[in-house]
Each structure stands twice: as structure tokens, then as C-alpha cells.
Amino acid sequence: MLTDGRQPDEHAIEKQQSLVSAVAEVFRIALPLMVSTGTFALVLFADRTLLLWHDGSSMSASMAGGNLFWVIVCLPVGIASMTGAFVSQYIGAGEESKIGRFLWQSVWMSLLASPLFLAVAVYAENLFRATGQPEELVPLEAVYLRLLMIGAVGIVLETALSGFFSGTQRTQVIMWVSLASGLINFVLDLVLIFGWGPIPSLGIAGAAIASVISFWFKSVCYGWLLLRPEHEQRYQIRGGFAFDASLLRNLLFFGLPTGLMFVTEAGGFAGIVLRIGRLGDLPLRATTMAINFNMIAFIPLVGVSIAASVLVGRHLIESGPRPATRSALAALAIGWLYSGAWVVVYLMAPHWLMSLYEMGELAGESKDAIELARGLLPFIALYVVLDATQLILAGALRGAGDTWFVLGSGFMASVTALTIGICFEPTSGALNWWWWMVTLWIWLIALAMAARFWQGGWQQMRMV
């Protein structure tokens, strides 16, 4: 018997309507972010494919160099990525005037990372030699990494500043800036990799320069938009220009575990890629080809993860755990639908996917790499849905402030997969072995995030 006099089916209908409205709300915020992150994925795909057509070794070097670049920048990027969750909670608490002062702390944090980036640029070649990379790839990897480090502060800044637009649910701004940046990057790739008119062919160096320009373009766009007068009265963007130790400490307390989580995930994956690199150029090139298609499935879901983080953070403050839980589940449903479609593509159309690489002129080794890469796509099909699960649930947990658990579980999964991989690496079939380790790693993280979300302790957490 229902205490409010309604029939059971009325409760079921109300619950269904609530979930449908939650899906609509998540989709409205996530779609522009999916377009934004999807543009980034397509640019990376085009970048590496153009390098394959220019020189197969450059494609391999861009994979190793790009992964190490991400390992270096992901600590400050991870801290800066919490900006959106903080902004959403300030809005939920009715304290919008504090947002400008908080944003400036993320800017100071971004600038403080500069000495680290400079040191990496100086010692880039030594870093690759220390990991036992093929000698012919080391100069290419070092050039790529050194040039990317020029854009390192830019990528941290644009992550911090874009948090204002995701936190205030102005995600269309992020979409349009990302589309413009992606177009600039692609055009510059064509011109700088292959040369045009008086501009010589720069190969892998040209690809890095194009990326650096696109990083700084986004930072400048977001900075210009934030400093416009219409934001001043409500958010105090210009008036908040100051150093605030208490706000910076708060950002670091919740952001540091997120950044360290990014480091453990990126470091674990980079460690596996560098182990594959020790097997030679051909296995590394095949891995790069397969990961390219993995990125197209994975990176757009970062937008769904951001939407889950923002909505969970806001609803926890504004209306309580139940709407926050619905938002997380709605985001998860969108992620499963998108990644499930990619499972079908990986299993049913591997030859069509790999034929995209054959549109340009290829050397014999690159054709061999395509055949090898085709056999790696079933591994991605095994873990892509669980990869979506861990990404979205981790975003929801971070939105609530449960960042230390996300860090600890990610760290343990990375250590476990790498330890098993190194200790039991076979003398033959090592490429497939390391892809099994990637699969194991993602499954472990997904199980940990699902267990934590189900346990529900995150529902009592607050950041502001």
C-alpha cells in the first residue's frame, strides 16, 4: 500500500520519466563536449595517419613521444580538470561571485608547472634512450616531445579555463573553440608535414608545431571570452585577479589525486607502449594503428565523463544524492550505447577500418603493420565498453569529490597490470601478451569504479 495513495504503476512511470529527463539533461551538456573531444580524436587520427604516409617511422615515434608528453602534462592537467566540478558546485551553492577568484588559482597553478616542462624538453633524448627505444626512433621521438613541450602550459591553461564553460553548462562554447582549433591543426598538419610553396617539409616536427599552435589558440580564445565585461558582475573574473592560498589549497587537495590518477593511467599505458616499443618498430607501428581507432571510440566519451562530473557535483549541492545518481546512470547509458556500437564495428568491419590507412602511399613495412594491427582490434572490442564504464563513473566520483579513491584504485590497477606483464612476459607472442595486459588493466579499473559507485559513500561528499 502506497502512503501517498498512488498506484504502483504511477511510481514506475514517474521513475521512468525522471530517468528520461536525466538522459536528456546529460545529453544536452555532453553532446557539444563529445563533438569537442571527438574533434581532438579525429585530429590525432589524421595527424598520425599523415605521418604514416610521410614516413612510417615518424608514426611510431609520434605514438611513443605523444604518450610521454601526456604523462608529463597530465598531473597539472588533471588538477586543472577539476575546475568544472568546482564551478558547478559554486553555482549549486549560490556562490557564483567566488568563481573568478577560484579560476585565477588554476591559472597560477598552470604557470608554476613551466620549469618541469622546460627540464623535460632539455633531457628528452635521454628519457627515450633510458627506456630502451630503438635507436633509429630516438631522434624523432625527442624532436616531437621537445616541440610539444612548448605547448604544455597552453594545454594546462585551456583545460583550466574551459572548466568555467563546462561548469556553467556553456558547453557549446567549448565545442566551437575545439572545432576551430581542430581545423587549424589539420590544415597546419598538411602544410608543415608535407611542405607547401616556400615552406619545406618538416615531417614529425611539423606535426608537433601544428599541435602547439592549436593548444595556445584554445587558451587565447577561452581567456578572451572569460575577460569579456558581461561575466564580470556575476562571476568577478577580472575582480578575482589575486593569489588566494586557501582556494589554491582546496584546488590541490581535490585536484592532486585527479592529476595523480591521470599520471598512473597515462604512466601505465605509456609503460606498456614503451615495452612494445622494445619489440621493434613494426609492433609499435601496428599498436599505433590500432590505438588510433581506439581513440575515436574513447576520447568522445571524455565529454560524457565531464558532463557526469559537472551534473553530479551540482545536483549533490542543489538537490541531493538521488538526482546526482540519476545523472551518473544516464551518462553511463549514453556511454554504453556509443561504445557498444564500436564493438560491432571492431568485430564486423576490421578490414574496412584498416583500409583507411591504405589510401596513401605505403612502404612494405607499413603494409605488414596493417595486417598486424587488424588482429589487435578484437582486444579493443573486449574492453571498450568497460573503458567507457570506468571513465564515466570516475567522472561522477570526481564530481562528488571522491578523488582519492579514484587515484588509489587506478594506481593499484596500473601496478598490477605492469607487474604481471613484466614478470611473466613470454619470449614469443609478446605483442599479444601486452595487449592482454591493457585489457586486464581496464577491466580492473572498471570493476573498482563500479564497486565504489554502488557502495554510495560518494553521495555524502562535498567540495565547497
* DSSP letter assigned to residue 166: H
CA dist., res. 409 & res. 119, Å (int): 30
Q: What is the pTM of this model?
A: 0.76
pLDDT digits (tens, 9 = 90+) for 341-377: 999 999 999 888 888 887 666 656 778 888 898 999 9
Query: What is d(CA 223, CA 144) in angstroms, rounded to the nearest whole number?
Result: 27
> Distance of CA 223 to CAs 134, 156, 217, 218, Å?
41, 13, 10, 9
In the prediction, which pLDDT does 261 show? 81
CA 373 from centroid of its chain's CA atoms: 23
- Three cell numbers written together for 168: 556553467
CB-based contact 346:378 (threshold 8 Å): yes
pLDDT digits (tens, 9 = 90+) for 255-276: 888 888 888 877 788 788 878 8
Identify whether the C-beta of residue 255 lies closer than 8 Å to the C-beta of residue 80. yes
The enclosing H or E element of 116 equals helix 114-122
- Collapsing DSSP to helix, strand or coil, 169 comes out as coil
Grid cell in block for residue 183: 581545423
Contact (CB, 8 A) for 339 and 376: no
pLDDT at position 361: 60
8 Å CB contact between 345 and 353: yes
For position 24, what pLDDT does the model report?
86
| From 158-162, 275-279, 409-413, the region with the lowest mean pLDDT | 275-279
